[in-house]
Structure 1
């Protein structure tokens, strides 16, 4: 089977399954204000429903939700996609987007988890995006571009994705995806890591130059420039007060 068709089948099955869950549960009693994110509550609801809905699924097997109370986990749901005897372990991450936000950059986790997955003999991290807005008694699931659900594989993430200094992937949740081969994705991931470290080096070099001139914090819109000399003066004032006690 061609890899692209295999991947398309995985995505279509994820879309269908989650859309069925949403249509059966169009509203949730989770309070949300305009612009507010309530992704954790929605994610936990979908995790449990996914596990429940795949007890006797044609393709998905052995689904488990992320452990309760554990904040750092490589998946929201882990499942096995089985086709003609081939078993593909898949990690799923739910992203709930409030359509009242013009742009949203939800944390997509560390890129290193795909490396961990590949070391185990698998490849696919899947993101499942659902859309919502505040309603009278909680929230309601809504469509975006005529879709209730948009699933995609990490390998096809938007090229605008960047890796933060904390080694977390970040991308606008509304950004369009683009198809890559699995090998192309590995080159893409390497390049993104290089770019991330180049930005860190540039920032570190600038900070080092500032430190050499005694500047601890550059002036911003919210604060004045902080120098070592300023702190020494403030410290002397404080010490003088103590000495007079």
Structure 2
């Protein structure tokens, strides 16, 4: 069987399962404030329903939802795609996107799970299932909606858009609204390797800049910690001197 046809069949069949879930349950009683993400709750719903809807599926066997309470599980759901006696493990990662949040670009897991999937389980198929939702108003829950004519967008990690990158906190990130780019599995290995190289080079450059600042007696911190991103260590000495001076007068 042609590899691409094999992969397309996996995506088509999983998309059909999730679409059937949406046909049966088009809304959820989950309140959504303007622009807010409620992806975790939607993901848990879809995990459970995927397992339920594939109990007697022609292709999908032994489907499982992620263990309850385990936040670092590498997959939201896993299943075996079986055809003509051949079984392929597929890890599913649900990504729920609020269509009212135009800048939505959710993290898509650590690169470590890619190596676990390939080396430990000999599979290349980490499949992101992107679904779209919209809040119905205060107390009214949410509905699943179409985006470019579809309610479900399946994307293999191996086929994500070219600008996929790995963030400093070691998270895979890509634009879910971009068209996927098909790669052979060998091409994906090279692609992923290059993305890891780029990410680590950026970390080295960033670390060198921070080291140079420290040598100069300065330090750069995230804006979430301090309103300025850079300040001089002398400021710390001044703060300490002022505090010690007050303490000594107690």
How does the TM-score come out when normalised to structure 1? 0.96
Q: In 1, distance between residues paired with 2:185 and 2:79?
A: 20
Q: In 2, distance between residues paired with 1:79 and 1:213?
A: 54
- Uncovered stretches (5+) of structure 2, i.e. residues with no partner: none
Q: Secondary structure at the match of 2:13?
A: helix
- Give 1:223 deviation, angstroms: 2.1
Kindly indicate whether the alpha-carbon contact (under 8 Å) linking 1:132 and 1:140 is maintained by their aligned counterparts in 2.
Answer: yes
Aligned to 2:26: 26
Aligned length: 245
Aligned to 2:170: 167
Q: Secondary structure at the match of 2:195?
A: helix
Q: Does 1:189 pair with 2:192?
A: yes
Aligned to 1:237: 242
Matching of residues 52-201 of structure 1 within 5 Å? 52-119=52-119, 120-136=121-137, 137-201=140-204
Q: Secondary structure at the match of 1:242?
A: helix
Q: In 2, distance between residues paired with 1:219 and 1:124?
A: 35
Structure 1 residue ranges (4+ consecutive) displaced by more than 6 angstroms after TM superposition: 218-221
RMSD: 1.5
Q: Secondary structure at the match of 1:152?
A: strand
Change in 2 beyond 3 A, CA 1:164/1:225: closer
- Give 1:225 deviation, angstroms: 3.9
Q: In 2, distance between residues paired with 1:52 and 1:196?
A: 39
Change in 2 beyond 3 A, CA 1:224/1:21: closer
Q: In 1, distance between residues paired with 2:151 and 2:194?
A: 32
Which deviates the most, 234-243 or 24-33? Answer: 234-243
Q: In 2, distance between residues paired with 1:40 and 1:170?
A: 17
- Uncovered stretches (5+) of structure 1, i.e. residues with no partner: none
Q: Secondary structure at the match of 1:104?
A: coil
